Amino acid sequence: MKLICWIGVCSLVVAVGCQEANAPKPQPISDDIDEFLSTLPNVHSTSTVFAEPDQGFLLFSVSYGEPQDCPSGCFYAQAWGIKYAGQIGWIYGAPATGVDQGGARYYDVRSTDGYLFDEALWNRLTTEWIGAGFRIMIACDADTPVEALDRLALRLPAEGWPFLADLLVDVAQTRNARHVAEIVSTLGPSTYNYSYSKAHALAALANWPSQPTGGYCRH
C-alpha cells in the first residue's frame, strides 16, 4: 500500500518537435496501455521506450495535449509510465497539465516488485531521461524495501544528484531507517557536491528520530 507518493521536483516538460522526420520509428504499445492512455487529451504519439520481456517489464512514453510554442518549433507535454506485474501506472506525467487528474494512476510500488529494485534495471534506466523520476518514485514509496534505499544511497557518489541525497535523508527519517541517513552522512569522494546533503544527514542523526524538513515527498 502506498503511504508516501513522490511529487515533481521541477516543472519539467520535454520538447517533442512537431516535425519528427529524423526520429526513430516508435515501437508500438499494447492494447492495455493504449486503453490506459485513453484519458489523456489529444494524444500525439506513443511508444515503447524499452522492454524486458523476461521480467514482464515495459517502459512507455506518450506526448499529448495542444502543440506549444509552434513559432519556434512545436512541442507537446510528455509523460512516462511502466507496465509491470499486472499494473500500469505513471512514473512522471507533468501534473501541472492535468495528467494526474481524472483518475490517472501513478505506479504504486509494492514490496514484491522485485525487478524494480534490481540494479540491472537501475543501470539501464540511467540511459533514459526518466531515470531521475524513477529513482524518486522508488525512494518515496513506503513499500520500497529499506535495503533498496541503502543501495540508492550507496550509488550516489557515482550517479550524482544531491537532490536525491536530501530526499533520502527525509525518507530515512519518515521510515526510521537510520542507516540510510548514515550512508548519506559519509558519502565518499564524488564529482558532485554533497556537502549540504551530508550536513542535512548529520543534523538528522544528531536529533534522531527527528521530523523531515524538506518536503521532498508528500503523504
pLDDT at 105: 82
pLDDT at 212: 83
Residue 99 confidence class, pLDDT cut points 50, 70, 90: very low
Between 23-32, 53-62, 159-168, the lowest mean confidence (pLDDT) is in 23-32
Kindly report, residue by residue over 20-54, the tens digit of the pLDDT: 334 445 566 788 998 888 878 788 888 899 999 99
Quickly list DSSP for the chain: ----EE--SS-------S--TTSPPPBP--HHHHHHGGGSSS--EEEEEEEEGGGTEEEEEEEEEEEE-GGG--EEEEEEEEEETTEEEEEE--GGGTTTSTT--B----TT-GGGG-HHHHHHHTTSTTHHHHHHHHHH-TTS-HHHHHHHHHTHHHH--HHHHHHHHHHHHHTT-HHHHHHHHT----SS--HHHHHHHHHHHHT-S----S--EE-
Q: Is pLDDT of 169 > 50? A: yes
pLDDT at 26: 52
pLDDT at 67: 75
Structure pTM?
0.80
pLDDT at 38: 80
Residue 2 confidence class, pLDDT cut points 50, 70, 90: low
pLDDT at 210: 83
The answer for residues whose C-beta is within 8 angstroms of residue 56's C-beta and 6 or more apart is 84, 85, 115
Kindly report, residue by residue over 108-140, the tens digit of the pLDDT: 999 999 999 999 999 999 999 899 999 999 999
